[in-house]
Homo-oligomer: A and B are copies of this chain.
Amino acid sequence: MTAEAPAGLPIALDAVGGDHGAPPNVEGAVLAARAGVSVLLVGERVALHAELGRYPGSSALPLEVVDAPDVIGMDEHASDVRGRTEASINVCTRLVKEGRAAAAVSMGHSGATMASALLTLGRIKGVERPAILTHLPARGGMTTLLDVGANADVKASYLAQWARLATVYLKVLEGREEPTVGLLSIGEEDHKGSALVLEAHALLRGLHGHGINFHGNVEGRDIFLGTTDIVVTDGFTGNVVLKLAEGEAKVLFGWVRDALKSSLKSKMGGLLVRGALRGLAERMDPSTYGASILVGVRGLAFIGHGSADAQAVKNALLRADRAYQGRLVPRLEAAFGD
């Protein structure tokens, strides 16, 4: 690190992970460093220095390259992280474990990032399974959703723990005092849902006022309506929800674009409304939040889209730094230490 590095630890970025390799990662790191966040670029040293060379003045920024000759490819198995000690994601999580980095951030293989974080960092005491927490745009702001894919088969106790983790997360990252928690079900009534949901409902009801603000059951429509701040569900349903939401937005905006080209009249109108609709598309853009967090591990680990651009990488790094500055992990440990 250079002398200008800000106080605290740098963020370890898996700088070769993702669909596009080093370029968006390095550009994102440069943007984050200019915004005051120090970053360790983890990956093949020569390639990363070459990429950094494209940014004049980057040598004065709080950026450092950490060599990692290996990388887990997007088409490899998550279990391949075992034994691949020099793989970039494993180097990132080890830097966190050893107290040399504040957080690990990767736009690479999601399953591998999750496995590496879990194997290297372990779980927070009292948390049976870590979950992936993400954000979806909603009326009035955003909805925080978990688990979106770490656990396809779950127990009711996991859902209750995730509600507690997400509550602390929103307090630290968004300054929300008493975020509301909804349990995803197929009816608002307490007695509706699967056997799992009925059991989780009873657990969450018991935690209401003790670490969480339980609203009750919510339905699929409530996610976009923003009925509750947090929605908890199993990792199967959550992953389907996330991918459906992204897919639907993409298809609907495509249809809006097509409609605006359907006649000369609508084409003329389309030119006038283009700016307004662009703002809306940005609101729907997953890069706004940059990455999802793996909550429940003993350390900070962020997982982004493989297709992330430099802006998404920058936002993920800033978010990771905020979680670190807000002492998220110690506060999660304290919440489960009672």
- Mark A residues whose CB is within 8 Å of B: 138-139, 149, 152-153, 184-186, 192-195, 197, 219-225, 233, 235-237, 239-256, 259-260, 262-263, 265-266, 268-277, 279-280, 283-284
Determine whether the beta carbon of B194 is less than 8 Å from that of A220.
no
A182 to B236, CA, bound (A): 16
Residues of B within 8 A of A247 (CB): 219-225
Known: A153-B195, A266-B273. A280 touches B255 (CB 8 A): yes
Residues of B within 8 A of A266 (CB): 272-273, 275-276
Residues of B within 8 A of A260 (CB): 273, 276
Between-chain CB contacts (< 8 Å), 13 pairs: A139-B254, A152-B194, A185-B236, A219-B240, A220-B240, A220-B243, A221-B246, A240-B240, A241-B241, A259-B276, A265-B273, A266-B273, A270-B273
A221 to B247, CA, bound (A): 4
- Given A260-B273, A273-B273, 15 further pairs, Cβ under 8 A: A139-B251, A193-B236, A219-B243, A220-B239, A221-B244, A221-B246, A225-B251, A237-B237, A240-B241, A244-B245, A252-B284, A255-B283, A259-B280, A263-B276, A269-B271
* Closest Cβ–Cβ distance, residue A68 to chain B (whole Å): 26
Determine whether the beta carbon of A138 is less than 8 Å from that of B259.
no
In the complex, the chain B residue whose C-beta lies closest to that of A198 is: B152
* Closest Cβ–Cβ distance, residue A226 to chain B (whole Å): 9
